[in-house]
Amino acid sequence: GTAAAGGPAEDRPWAAGLRIPPGGGDRHQREGGGVPHKKIHREGENRQMAQLYFKYGAMGSSKTANALMTRFNYEERGQKTLLVKPRLDTRDGDHMVVSRIGLTYPCIYFDEMQQLSVMELQQNACVIVDEAQFLTREEVMYLVGLVDDLGIPVICYGLRSDFSLKGFPGSTRLLELAHTIEEMKTICTCGRKAICNCRKVNGRFVFEGEQVAIDLENDVQYVSMCPQCYFKAKRAFYAEKAASRVE
């Protein structure tokens, strides 16, 4: 189990689901862990090369397409990868990653990856996580364990913030812990750089509601916008709402 020497499992969140001895050096100690144990290295690999990458961008910045192209680039060179997404992401069907430009590839869910043995995980040259904003903070710590304890590079793609400009827990933790952070850029309909995500329900912009919308009855879409257009749409939303109360 995960409750090896070094303290109870709940004191070592990176070890949750990762069936290896705790340890991993200084980063784990800074998280409040116990005495590091023997590190686990992949044969023939310099462990120091492995990093945790977070590539974020607004909707429409080709995050999923880049995740699938990264997988292709690895496997074209004969290196196996593990393509993963959170189970919460159901928009593309069961065990599938689908990009807007039509690229698709089967994946496994994050909780399924957590059930893999060390030997099975170490068969992969890289772990690629799509829709990483839906990860929990604890799941991000599991990825830290893959990098620090097993020496497996992990590349995460996802949104930085939601439609109300609040950070997703998973994205916030990735911004705190990733070795390398890269912004993937896209543009607003006005031509400016888009960094905001705006929610449309049945064709109308909305600025209230749950962070994650799982709505099978309404047409829910997301549009990337520049701050100027985002706040203009937000002012119009609340002006219309105030007018309807007066009536």
Query: What secondary structure, in 3-state letters, does the chain show?
Result: CCCCCCCCHHHCHHHCCCCCCCCCCHHHHHCCCCCCCCCCCCCCCCHHHCCEEEEECCCCCCHHHHHHHHHHHHHHCCCCEEEEECCCCCCCCCCEEECCCCCEEECEEHHHHCCCCHHHHCCCCEEEECCHHHCCHHHHHHHHHHHHHHCCCEEEEECCECCCCCECHHHHHHHHHCCEEEECCCECCCCCECCEEEEEECCEEECCCCCCCCCCCCCEEEEEECHHHHHHHHHHHHHHHHHHHHC
Catalytic residues: 131
Q: What is the pLDDT along the chain (247 residues), one digit of tens a residue?
A: 333 333 344 443 344 444 443 334 445 444 533 223 334 444 444 445 899 999 999 998 999 999 999 999 999 999 999 999 999 876 777 898 988 888 888 999 999 999 999 999 999 999 999 999 999 999 999 999 999 999 999 999 999 999 999 999 999 999 999 999 999 999 999 999 999 999 999 889 999 988 887 555 678 889 999 999 999 999 999 998 888 876 6
pLDDT for the residue numbered 48:
54
pLDDT for the residue numbered 216:
54
pLDDT for the residue numbered 140:
97
pLDDT for the residue numbered 191:
96
Backbone dihedral angles phi then psi of residue 234, each to the nearest 5 degrees: -65, -45
pTM of the shown model: 0.77
On whether the CB atoms of residues 185 and 60 are closer than 8 A, the answer is no
Kind of pairing, strands 81-85 and 220-225?
unpaired
pLDDT for the residue numbered 139:
97
